[in-house]
Amino acid sequence: MEKRAHFSGWTLPLLLILPQMAITVIFFYWPASQAIWQSFLREDAFGLASEFVGFENYIDLFKQPEYYRAMITTAIFSTLVAFFSLSVALLLATQADKSLRGGHAFKTLLIWPYAVAPAIAGVLWIFMFHPTLGTLARPIRAVGIDWNPMLNGNHAMILLVLSATWKHISYNFLFFLAGLQAIPKSVIEAGAIDGAGPLRRFWTIIFPLLSPTTFFLLVVTVVYVFFETFGIIDAVTGGGPAGQTTTLVYKVYADGRLGGDLGGSAAQSVILMVIVIALTAIQFRYVERKVQY
């Protein structure tokens, strides 16, 4: 029978959770509260003077066509990155789960990209696909495609999706592989004995048993796309060309740091936080229903 720890008072349990609570308050709740307060202020570019303006920053924000375009760009970008990073990672995990010669090296190489910083990942991909200097851009142009992510918004979006997907595949791969290895082999063998082919075994046995892992990775990937791809966007396109790759998180930086609109930038960060919380709640409310634990 499992033994449980019993504490004679509240002092020791509080001391044990105090470091985590302090980190949460200092690095999440305090900055979030400051952002909410600043969203009701109009500040100068240096933050030395401020004036309370109520909801004026929010009203001005929703009057900007550029903000709605950033919303659409974010929706397209997040959908593509989530789909390709999850599907490619699942494909690689199913192959790595097999008994292959050199399988350990294969798994190690697939995990490495996760250790690369987002900005470095962006620089690597822009070096490879730069329209004039890129080693992989030359073959593309040689086959007749006028590849130029510096001027073509569609090309820039493709490059961003590729770099952001490559950066996050390793994380998804690691969890998918762990989930596959946790599935009892006897269940898969029973399906094979019943005459189910490889594809049918995957969709009727393996994938349903992976649904908790898939749901977890879906939530994490959405958060990754909304927040952690800033470094990739800044390094690859800088939101260009002509703002066609400006997402919500990059617009917060562009308007606040580059444009000097600190109050409007704070309002954007609050709206972005609300959007992510709402998406997460919707996923837990509706998507989790199809998860089989």
CATH number at residue 192: 1.10.3720.10
Query: Does the residue 166 lie in any domain?
Result: yes
Contact assessment for residue 52 and residue 40, using Cβ atoms and an 8 Å cutoff: yes
**Coil/strand/helix, residue 138:** helix
Query: Does the residue 32 lie in any domain?
Result: no
Query: Does the residue 44 lie in any domain?
Result: no
For residue 129, what pLDDT is reported?
93
Query: Does the residue 43 lie in any domain?
Result: no
| Alpha-carbon Rg for the chain in angstroms | 23
Contact assessment for residue 251 and residue 68, using Cβ atoms and an 8 Å cutoff: no
Domain residues for the domain of 225 are 56-287
> How far apart, in whole angstroms, are the C-alpha atoms of residue 47 and residue 241?
30
For residue 291, what pLDDT is reported?
65
Q: How many domains does the chain have?
A: 1
For residue 292, what pLDDT is reported?
61
Residue type, 212: P
Query: Does the residue 125 lie in any domain?
Result: yes
Query: Does the residue 51 lie in any domain?
Result: no
Mean pLDDT per 10-residue segment, the chain (293 residues): 67 88 92 90 77 90 92 94 95 85 78 88 92 88 90 93 94 92 86 83 87 89 91 91 91 86 90 89 75 60
Query: Does the residue 120 lie in any domain?
Result: yes
For residue 230, what pLDDT is reported?
92
Query: Does the residue 31 lie in any domain?
Result: no
For residue 205, what pLDDT is reported?
86
- Short-list 71, 18, 5, CA closest to 274: 71
> How far apart, in whole angstroms, are the C-alpha atoms of residue 260 and residue 46?
8
